[in-house]
Amino acid sequence: MRNIDDSYIKRGIDRRSFLGITGAAAVAMVAEGLSTPAIAEPSVQAHVNGRRKLGSLEVSTVGLGVQNMSRKYETTVPYRPEMIDIIRAAYDHGVTFFDTAEAYGPLECERILGEGIAPFRNKVVITSKFGWNIDPDTGQFRMGLNSKPDHIKRAVEGMLKRLRTDRIDLLYQHRVDPQVPIEDVAGAVKDLISEGKVLHWGLCEMGPNTLRRAHAALPVTAVQNEYSMLWRGPEEVVIPMCQELGIGFVPWSPLGVQFLTGAIDENTRFAPGDIRSAEPRFSSENLKHNLELVKLVKRWAERKQAAPVQIPLAWLLAQKPWIVPIPGTTQMAHMIENVGGSSVKLGPDELKELNASVSSIQIQGKRLPDGVLALSGVEAPPKS
């Protein structure tokens, strides 16, 4: 599939049109979506354009997330050699920012990334995350969260082995532990920094007061939250706070778990176990309304002579110069399209117009199930 996909990209046919061309083969690829009409031939280059800074950490304008490389949306298991090829091809296309976590797999995605970047480890920035109550040796999930200092340090030792490295460039707390003061978490990370095992740190989906306290205890390099045209919640408090404090922002799920690519429509039936099937925004009654956003993306793709997937990425990059999206994929052709999103430029008037159009579409349905949402926006307990 890699050679076929690449040939279609070179001919300017976007990924959704490719699925339409392949006909019956697309039916078996439910999670990849159904075909869409071809748009104007993309004219942007398939290479990362420029670099950005998250705090003092310089990275490529677009990164690569590897969460699905061990198990795609908790369903099928991708072919590992192909995942290694994608990671290395991403580097060849200018990507120097790679994102993983101990929870992805669990542990397995760190192994995949470690193998993938081994030939050029010293030329890239890698991130990982701690915070779940995972056995660092076996990967067994236990109940709840765990950001106790001794657990953090054990987790990092395992990360270093799996990632085949002597340091983690950016280490995030994956979710705030409501039992551990953030000052204690920062203290553990500070110890790891003094040992040279961690270079920078950040937080994911934290409460705003916790972010401020964390930054006061140990300067935070980046925050990672869900943010896209589909979910704009961080614009209210988190992004303004990042601007105030000089913290970079890394949107996870910048393509709305494939929704903004056109891969999900009213005919989509998620595979058994696909985590997206539990998201209220993708219920049949909400999806009909929310697809207006995809139609908007396609109109702008035609206008900008780009692939639809590149519009949401260009939109994110236009919001702030310190925002760096990390789209993930298990398909070579998709990775090539994603990195090309950094070459799509939105002028001030275009951004104003697009922002207004996006705002006019009120997304129906929560972004995640209630049980998962309860883990976001959590404030760490006070330091006694």
Question: Distance (Å, rounded) from C-alpha 53 to C-alpha 243?
Answer: 13
pLDDT of residue 98 exceeding 90, the answer is: yes
Domains of the chain are 45-366 (3.20.20.100)
Q: Mind listing the pLDDT tens digit for each residue in 104-142? A: 999 999 999 999 999 999 999 999 999 999 998 899 999
| Pick from 157, 129, 156, 124: nearest CA to 57 | 124
Are 266 and 295 in contact, with CB atoms under 8 Å apart?
no
pTM equals 0.89
Decide if pLDDT at 21 tops 80: no
Percent of the chain residues past pLDDT 70, beyond the cut? 88
For tokens 């539990």, name the residue: 278
Say how far apart CA 18 and CA 99 lie, in whole Å: 28
Please choose, from the candidates 332, 263, 337, the residue with its C-alpha nearest in 3D space to the C-alpha of residue 44: 337
Ramachandran angles phi, psi of 61, nearest 5°: -60, -30
| CA pair distance 312, 258, nearest whole angstrom | 11
More confident residue, 99 or 49: 99
Q: Clarify whether 104 is annotated catalytic.
A: yes
- DSSP letter at 383 equals P
* pLDDT at 13 > cutoff 60: no
Gap between the Cα atoms of 174 and 199, Å rounded: 17
Given the structure tokens 């296309």, which residue do they identify? 93
- Residue 44 has what pLDDT? 59
For residue 50, the tally of other CB atoms under 10 A from its CB is: 12
DSSP states of 199-256 as a string? EEEEEESB-HHHHHHHHHHS---EEEEE-SSS--GGGTTHHHHHHHHT-EEEEESTTT
Burial class (CB in 10 A: 0-12, 13-18, 19+), 280: middle
Fill in the DSSP letter of residue 109.
H
Number of Cβ within 10 Å of residue 108's Cβ equals: 19
pLDDT tens by residue, 47-63: 898 999 999 999 999 99
Those residues whose C-beta lies under 8 Å from the C-beta of residue 312, and which sit 6 or more positions away, are 228, 229, 254, 255, 256, 260, 297, 341
Q: In this predicted structure, what is the pLDDT of residue 43?
A: 52
Q: Strands 97-99 and 125-130, how do they pair?
A: parallel
Comparing 29 with 241, the larger pLDDT belongs to 241
* pLDDT tens sequence across 199-221: 999 999 999 999 999 999 999 99
Is the confidence at residue 370, as pLDDT, over 90? yes
Closest CA to 339 of 91, 37, 126: 91
Active-site residue identified among 73, 91, 104, 172: 104
**How do residues 162-188 score in pLDDT, each as one tens digit?**
999 999 999 999 999 999 999 999 999
pLDDT tops 60 at residue 40: no
